[in-house]
Structure 1
Amino acid sequence: MTARDAIVLNSHGVGQYAYCDHMPSWGETLSVSKWHIAEDGGKGSNVTVALGRLGLDVAYVGKVGDDAWGDLGEKWMSEAGADTTFLYRDPSVSTGTGLVLLGPDGSNAIIDGDSSSSALTVDEVTAAIEGMRGSKYFITGFEVPEGIALEGARRAHHLGMKTVLNPSPLPAGSLPPLGFIDYLFVNEVEAAALAGMAKSNLESLARGVLQATSARNVIVTLGSDGSCALTEEGEFLKVDPVKVENVVNTAGAGDGFMAATVANLVWGKTLREAMEWASYYSALAVTIDGTIPAYRSLDEVNAFINGCQSKTCEE
């Protein structure tokens, strides 16, 4: 095996979509419309496809069933140019599915089913990482078991890779010290939970996450309010959102933002520059239905950015 720009260890699943006018309360029977299976992956396949379409040399590590949903994940990632050598197929498990409820304004709530990646073993993950020694970035998250994700990150860090963690969904207990994580990506709800404080002052929120986790850099996505970060040098960054009028679907926007940020870091950009570019990337993504179709090629994203900037200059 050869070294890669990025290795992604997280789950693959297939999303089902339904439209509703509000989120259900406990005990409520909710009527939805347009329930359908879409081109929507898990966090692992989402990030892998996004990186592949941006031109990075990326490899995926995960486990799926020997079923149609697993076939679909392998197809999406392979067509994006990703290496799927370490996409383990196991006939004893079923590839996971999830339900995305979409509101009238494009907001979403996601219900994750059991992940087939729960059947992954430390030995399988270690074999994959060892087989790609010299890779630049290792990206993981908690749609695979927390212990396996963190053990993979520790091993990658030991081998000199930059490590990226999206600890979603957050575990019930506290996280161990994450000094081996170079970039921790969380949304504002996760940040508040980790820091033990409500969102008020963004810098204080980011600092609270950094202190609670010991990660080197913390990036907080803020939805329509943009993003912010606190670096290991103590610099606070605030990045404005890129506004678009035709928001169709926000599912997968956070995965895309993280992938786009990492891509720019691989290209040698600063963290601020990477986050600014990723804001445009996410803005384009939310105008397209389904996560897999929303992750566009580098040429398409650059054309979108140029169009936005030209429009801003004209205004």
Structure 2
Amino acid sequence: MINRVVVLGSLNVDTTLHIDQMPKPGETISAKSKTNSAGGKGANQAVAAVRSGAVISFIGQVGDDGNGKFMIDALENDGINTDHVAVDKVEGTGSAVILLDSQGQNSIMVYGGANQAMKPAMMVDAEPLIENADILISEFETPQDVTYEAFKLAKQHGVTTILNPAPAAEIIDGLLEVTDLIVPNETESASLTGIEVTDNDSMDRNAEKFAQMGIDNLIITVGSRGAYYHTADGSGFVPAFKVKAKDTTAAGDTFIGAFSSKVNKDLSNVEEALTYAQQASSITVQRLGALPSIPTEKEINAEYK
């Protein structure tokens, strides 16, 4: 089975500054080197999914500039349908500055630009695309009201919706009611529920809180430890694969994209899909950059099978 996945999300050109350690407040430091690459949570997730065998279409927006063309070309180079990537004549293409230290940890500053200028009315033209999908993914680097409109259409057509609430923000009314699966990391989960993620018991309590909020299916990613899941069929924890990280940029996005390429619409194989997603992200963190670091299914299978 090949999943048809639509990603509604951000398109950013990433500038990564390679440094020894994070600067302290008021401190000026020198970067060892600088790299530019295609990125954005939406783009990362779409590329991760298509490289793992899914058929991908993208809904997003870029500026009328060179970076916009660069991002569209980057998606199309991976065989992603960009028919629903609009061009904004006012706002510039989204961008991000990433500080990457010698331990592989990062801090990211994002300029939303054209991503944040998207409007709910844009989803009218996208309905036929959504209707023919198996899975629709969105994050919080584009406006939530746009995601809400898209998810409502998805539910009308029996499409499974996956929400990645990153960066963490208060969720608008109604969005969780049309979300089938929410995938925060531990920090985002705690921000949304008020319950710190420290162990399995606290993750169970996060799941209970999300259920009270209207969402029964949950995955919490906890970095190098692994991922917790809770669905109608049960809950559990899938440990991460131990590797030495060079750059954690796009690791979480690789996880979600790879997961979406393998999970069944009814989430019945969630543990199997999570294991594959962990394998994919374990390769990503051993490489530099966002899109350039995301592995193919062939590379994942060669490493782990």
Q: TM-score, normalised by structure 1?
A: 0.89
Partner of 2:256: 258
Give the SS at the match of 1:287.
coil
> 1:253·1:286 contact (CA, 8 Å) conserved in 2?
yes
Structure 1 pair 275–209 and aligned structure 2 pair: CA distance change class (3 A):
farther
Query: Judging changes above 3 Å, is the alpha-carbon distance between structure 1 residues 24 and 125 closer, same or farther for their aligned structure 2 residues?
Result: farther
Instruction: Return closer, same or farther for 1:209/1:185 CA change in 2, 3 Å cut-off.
Output: farther
Cross-structure match for 1:176 = 173
User: Does 1:237 find its partner at 2:206?
Assistant: no
Contact persistence 1:209–1:218 (CA under 8 A): no
**Percent of paired sites with the same residue:** 27
Sort the Cα spacing of 1:269 and 1:288 in 2 relative to 1 into closer, same or farther, 3 A. Answer: farther
User: What is the CA–CA distance in structure 1 between the aligned matches of 2:202 and 2:177, rounded to whole Å?
Assistant: 20
Deviations 1:37-86 (A, max 9, x none): 42240011111111122221110000101211111111111111110000
Match of 1:227 in 2: 227
Tell me which residue corresponds to 1:78: 76
Q: Is the 8 Å Cα contact of residues 53 and 81 (structure 1) preserved in structure 2?
A: no
Give the corresponding residue for 1:116: 114
Structure 2: tracts of 5 or more residues without a match? none
The residue aligned with 1:65 is 63
Tell me the CA shift for residue 209 of structure 1: 4.7
| Matched position secondary structure for 2:183 | strand
The answer for the alignment partner of 1:91 in structure 2 is: 89
Q: Secondary structure at the match of 2:62?
A: strand
Task: Write out per-residue CA displacement over residues 19-47 of structure 1, whole angstroms, 9 at most, x where no aligned residue.
Answer: 33443444x13314135242240011111
CA distance in 1, matches of 2:283, 2:90: 38
Q: Is the 8 A contact 2:148 2:178 kept in 1?
A: no
Question: C-alpha distance in 2, partners of 1:109/1:249?
Answer: 11
Matches within 5 A, 1:143-292: 143-171=141-169, 173-176=170-173, 178-205=176-203, 206-211=206-211, 213-233=213-233, 235-245=234-244, 247-266=245-264, 270-292=269-291
> Structure 1: any 5+ residue segments left out of the alignment?
307-315
CA–CA distance in structure 2, aligned partners of residues 208 and 103 of structure 1: 36
Q: How far 1:132 moved relative to its partner? A: 4.2
Distance 1:124 1:251, change over 3 A: same
Greater shift, 127-136 or 94-103, is seen at: 127-136
Whether the 8 Å CA contact 2:50–2:261 is kept in 1: the answer is no
C-alpha distance in 2 between matches for 1:80 and 1:241: 27
Residue 175 of structure 1 contacts residue 213 of structure 1 at CA under 8 Å; is this kept in 2? no
Give the Å deviation of 1:280.
0.7
Q: 1:33 to 1:25 in 2, by over 3 A?
A: closer
Give the structure-2-normalised TM-score.
0.92
* Number of the residue aligned with 2:16: 17
2: CA distance, partners of 1:186 / 1:209: 13
Say if 2:12 and 2:94, in contact at 8 Å, map to a contact too: yes
Taking the aligned partners of 2:211 and 2:129, their CA distance within structure 1 comes to 34
- For 2:236 and 2:66, the matched residues in 1 are separated by 43
AA paired with 1:293?
P
- Relative to structure 1, is the Cα distance of residues 209 and 36 closer, same or farther in structure 2, using a 3 angstrom cutoff? farther
Q: CA RMSD in A?
A: 2.1
**1:151 positional shift:** 1.9
Partners of 1:209 and 1:42 in 2: CA distance: 29
Residue deviations 1:159-190 (CA, integer Å, cap 9, x gap): 2100001111122x454351321111101101
SS in 2 for 1:39: strand
Q: CA deviation at 1:104?
A: 2.0
C-alpha contact (below 8 Å) 2:258/2:280 kept by paired residues: yes
User: What is the total number of aligned residue pairs between the two structures?
Assistant: 300
